[in-house]
Structure 1
Amino acid sequence: MSNESQQPRVRILDTAYRLFLGQGYNSTGINQIIEEAEVAKASFYQHFKSKEDLCVGVLEKRHQYIEEQSQALSAQKRTPKMKVLASFDLISLLNEQEDFRGCAFLNILSEIPADNTKVREVIYAHKSNIRQHFKDLLQHAELADHIYLLYEGAFVESQLYRDQWPVNRAKKIANSLIS
């Protein structure tokens, strides 16, 4: 599908995500997004009042994508343990698709001021959702938190090392923790 055939809002969100991921949130200007998304400035502001609102839209779309990928990877898994372990496969998949760019939520979190509550709330909701997912599957809060921290650490460290070994190791540890 050509860039022009997509709806302006979709082009803006996709372009902003690509640029935020590739060059950082703070280094990406609205004018660059408008130009590369091939939309008029008025069209941009019709959809997003500010860069902060755009960031919220990008992260909400990203959350939806991760949810869909997670469900697809765990759909064929029968046990809660297998479903939890499939979460680590999701990190590996994202690393392969995006060249080890890491977690978009944490990348943006590291760039925004502490008082940016609008964006922080979206990030918090996403991370809380992942944590709750593990709790729902495992029915054991402390174990779920261990798995959550392994998951998050694997994502960050695989970005640092640009390698799957942290994900593979975390998955192996998670496997041994879940009885």
Structure 2
Amino acid sequence: MTRVCLVGADDVNLRYELLSRETARDALATYDLREPFENAVGLETVSLGAAVALLNDLNWYLVRFVDEAMVLEPSVSESEWLSRELATAVRDDAVGPDELARFLKIYGLEPASADDPDGSDPDGAERGDAPAGDDGADSTGPKRLVEPMYVTRTGGAVPDYDLREVEETVVERVTESEFGA
């Protein structure tokens, strides 16, 4: 199964924005939605092609409400996400293996924000649709992605995240154009 994760912009409640609009709600209706990270919507699709097609269907909403759209394709990596652009390039066989793993965006992963101690979102809806151990979720709710660091992989190892003290990170592979942007 290919996983999709949409990370909401700081000033929006992503789940609300997507589900309050009929077209997005219809596109997402067949999926079991989760919250793998704070203010994120996660789901599983049957293939990389289906994941890219869903992102294309949701493009209007992604442009307005989403900071990052990531795809986790097991045939590429079990632990490193792909950016939307890179996932599309992989689907289209437009990227070589050397570029596929070279450019990275590494996020720190921290406990949910301190201003939300009860685990509810700004509209008062309870969280808890992300089971413990699923991506960034734990018993206190989903963790928050913070401060991405752009790095180039050399020698096969992922460089350490050093922008702040975090126990966990999330690695996203990006295209060369996204890396240089």
TM-score, normalised to structure 2, is 0.29
More strand as a share of residues = 2
Structure number with larger C-alpha Rg: 1
Which has a greater percent of helix? 1
TM-score (norm 1): 0.29
Greater RCO structure (CA 8 Å; 6+ sep): 2
